[in-house]
Amino acid sequence: MAHKFKITAAKNGEFVAKFVYNSETMVWSETYKSKASAQNCIDSIKKNAPGAAIVDLTKGEEGKGYRFELAASKDGQTFVRFVAANNETMVRSETYKSKSSAKNCIKSVQERGPKAETVDES
């Protein structure tokens, strides 16, 4: 099964953008009040993720513009955020025990996201 973006309904009647592979959600957005806003999130990821910098916050690195951030969770695992040029988090991942798994998540979004279909499951 291919990578794809999904727009799903949240419990509060809002919408969430997700990037999935084999029914496993790799990254997800905040909730949006409109389906169009969730679609805008997806469109922005498709456009901006491929060339985005990767910033390792666990090493004290800083970044500007569209970027992926590797961040530490409270339990010492690593998760990924994709951050817009205005410093707003667009999507985040689950936590990973290894940083290499988090980097693989970034690679999937960068390489497979631009051509991934979008499915409306809301």
> In whole angstroms, how far apart are CA 11 and each of 5, 7, 32, 37?
19, 13, 12, 17
Please tell me the predicted confidence (pLDDT) of residue 1. 58
Instruction: Answer yes or no: is 26 within a domain.
Output: yes
Give the range of the structural domain holding residue 43, as residue numbers without chain letter: 4-113
Where is pLDDT greater, at 84 or 23?
A: 84
Instruction: Answer yes or no: is 20 within a domain.
Output: yes
Please tell me the predicted confidence (pLDDT) of residue 23. 84
Q: Dump pLDDT digits (tens) for 82-118.
A: 999 999 999 999 999 999 999 999 999 999 999 999 9
> In whole angstroms, how far apart are CA 8 and each of 27, 67, 98, 103?
13, 24, 28, 25
Q: Dump pLDDT digits (tens) for 1-12.
A: 589 999 999 988
Distance of CA 45 to the CA centre of its chain: 8
What percentage of the chain has pLDDT greater than the value 90?
Answer: 95
Instruction: Answer yes or no: is 95 within a domain.
Output: yes
Instruction: Answer yes or no: is 118 within a domain.
Output: no
Number of structural domains found in the chain: 1
pTM, two decimal places: 0.92
- CATH code (residue 28): 2.30.29.80
Q: Dump pLDDT digits (tens) for 27-67.
A: 999 999 999 999 999 999 999 999 999 999 999 999 999 99
Secondary structure (H, E, C), the chain: CCCEEEEEECCCCCEEEEEEECCEEEEEEEEECCHHHHHHHHHHHHHHCCCCEEEEHHHCCCCCCCEEEEEECCCCCEEEEEECCCCCEEEEECCECCHHHHHHHHHHHHHHCCCCEEEECC
